[in-house]
Amino acid sequence: MSNETVVTIPNEHLRLLDELQHLLNRQKELVRKGDFRTSEALTVESNAIVDELVRTKVLEQAEFRGQFERLAKTYRQITLMVAAEKDRLGKQLKQVGQARKTLKAYRGFG
């Protein structure tokens, strides 16, 4: 007989981790498609799951390290995608502002 102790992982923890991965994957796909409103709504759901995982200290447990790293990687990908889109939209907004100034100047000549 072994002196090892077996840690029982509640099915609820596994379900929450799987649900969080699913939500993050959906968010990534929505951001890729430019659907930021729906992606933001999923963020609320994701945050509730993260809060529960933090409260129960699931992510601190060694047996979840691999899953946590996958979750973190997906989250970083989403963050980078959103940042790139924000930068792109900022540049477009600047171009629109410059075009407005140009049009306003042309109107002044008329």
3-class state of residue 69 by DSSP: helix
What Å distances lie between residue 97 and 15, 42, 88, 100, 109, CA to CA? 48, 32, 14, 5, 19
pLDDT tens for 10-67 read 788 889 999 999 999 999 999 999 999 999 999 999 999 999 999 988 888 888 888 8
pTM (2 d.p.): 0.72
What Å distances lie between residue 29 and 16, 49, 60, 62, 78, CA to CA? 20, 19, 28, 29, 9
Evaluate whether 24 touches 77 at the Cβ level (below 8 Å).
Answer: no
74 vs 8, higher pLDDT? 74
The structural domains of the chain, with segments of one domain joined by +, span: 11-108
Q: Where are the beta strands (DSSP E) in the chain?
A: none
